[in-house]
Amino acid sequence: MAEMLASRRSRLWQLVTPADLAAWVFAGPAPSPLDPPPVGFDGDWASGLDETGRQAWALAGWVARMVVPDAANTAGKYWILSHLDDARPAKLRLTVGVLEILGLYDTGGEVWLRSHAAPIVSAMDVGAVDLHEWERRGIEMREDGTKTLAEEKVFLSCPDLETARWLLRHPPVIAGLRLLCCWVAAGPYSFEGRYRPEVVARAWWASELLPGDDVDPLPGGGVGFDRPYTGATVTADLPAQRSFDVDAYRAGVDEHDRLCRSLIAHLAGSGIAVGSGLAGVNVDLAWRDVDGHQFIAEVKSVAVGNEVEQLRLGLGQVLEYRHRLAARGVAATAVLLVSRCTDPVWRAICAGSGVLLLAGDDQPTWLAKLEAAVGTVNG
């Protein structure tokens, strides 16, 4: 990526090197410091704004600080923030280089973003983005029709400010925005006559409403999961190939649901709420215990002849999920719950990887084993 950026002749390299920018794109999400700002601002930035308006200006300033390269030193040269107060409703627009990166309204409602596709698509390919959750929240992603990097951009739209804040908690989204901003910021253009320093300054200071990288709490941060458990469904029109055993598939789904609900009910007896998903990672079950320790569980149904296969698959999945969560700053104790385990060596195998193995036929011991696991397994 550093070579790609260096291939562009730009005065931006007088402020920051291509190598530094390339490293920054994929660094942990953190906005530019509030102080020093690009320009001074006299007065109360929130004057005349209702709560929605304050949140809209705060988000615009936060995005500029988060995704524009060297934002404090490049304002008016490589990026601008416009306030189109003659529009109805009034609109805030972040432009980097020749491209509008962010658009939103003072009154709330739709928020749209342009991002480089690569980081987001890569995250989708490895399951680090939960598309079902995006759809549930009303987030749409489509190809972007503007000419600049036409085949490498995506257009993201969110129905409201809250959803946009949630989306911007995802590192692949921030990396995509940063990558696109780096590319277009290095291009030739002029903002002469269009730069309004008072607009940039107002949004910059408004962004203090969203301190650090906490633009919004991590999904599930308060309760230990993203959404309630709803169980799985089996469609009526399953394929009828000879190699596909419909009855076995339905039985496996039913057994998976039974195990999930058994663990949910077991923990509910101790006042612990259990749900699904955590921080955008699609774990089967997730919860916090009464002391606030985070747990995740992968659940596998076991039938005659597939015990080893399911144990291998389940262990690999829960290790992947724990790693992805750790990369997002979420430490969790990993649990693998299976219908049964007839080979005792698997408990040692799982323990050696820092995973607690629970079996459906030893349910009375679950709570004690979970309590003992805190501090003894990874997470």
Q: Identify the pLDDT of residue 131.
A: 78
For the chain, state the CA radius of gyration. Answer: 24
Higher-scoring residue by pLDDT: 92, 233: 92
Say what percent of the chain tops pLDDT 70.
85
Q: Identify the pLDDT of residue 242.
A: 39
Core vs surface per residue 136-145: b (16+ CB within 10 A) or e: ebebebeebe
pLDDT at 199 over 80: yes
Higher-scoring residue by pLDDT: 48, 318: 318
Higher-scoring residue by pLDDT: 221, 274: 274
pLDDT at 220 over 50: no
User: pTM of whole model > 0.75?
Assistant: no
pLDDT digits (tens, 9 = 90+) for 133-153: 888 889 999 888 887 766 688
DSSP state of 269: T
DSSP string, 220-243: TTTTSSSEE-------S-----TT
Q: Identify the pLDDT of residue 219.
A: 45
pLDDT at 164 over 50: yes
Confidence label for 85 from pLDDT (cuts 50, 70 and 90): confident
* Per-residue CA distances from 174 to 25, 31, 49, 76, 101 (Å): 8, 11, 28, 22, 12
Q: Identify the pLDDT of residue 377.
A: 52
Q: Give the separation between CA 295 and CA 282, rounded to whole angstroms.
A: 13
Higher-scoring residue by pLDDT: 225, 199: 199
3-state secondary structure of 206: helix
pLDDT digits (tens, 9 = 90+) for 120-130: 888 887 777 77
Q: Give the separation between CA 355 and CA 349, rounded to whole angstroms.
A: 9
Q: Identify the pLDDT of residue 231.
A: 67
Say what percent of the chain tops pLDDT 90.
39
| CB-based contacts of 83, cutoff 8 Å, min separation 6 | 90, 91, 92, 196, 199
Core vs surface per residue 242-267: b (16+ CB within 10 A) or e: eeeeeeeeeebeebbbebbeebbebb
pLDDT digits (tens, 9 = 90+) for 248-297: 667 778 888 999 999 999 999 888 999 988 888 889 999 998 888 999 99
Q: Give the separation between CA 216 and CA 168, rounded to whole angstroms.
A: 8
Copy the structure tokens of residue 266: 């077991």
Q: Are 377 and 354 in contact (CB under 8 A)?
A: yes
Q: Identify the pLDDT of residue 282.
A: 84
Q: Identify the pLDDT of residue 217.
A: 43
Average of per-residue pLDDT across 14-28: 81
Average of per-residue pLDDT across 221-230: 63
Q: Identify the pLDDT of residue 327.
A: 83
Query: What single letter denotes the amino acid at residue 175?
Result: A
Q: Identify the pLDDT of residue 100.
A: 92
**Choice among 120-129, 159-168, 340-349 with the minimum mean pLDDT:** 120-129
Average of per-residue pLDDT across 69-88: 87
Average of per-residue pLDDT across 195-204: 90
Higher-scoring residue by pLDDT: 39, 316: 316
DSSP state of 288: E
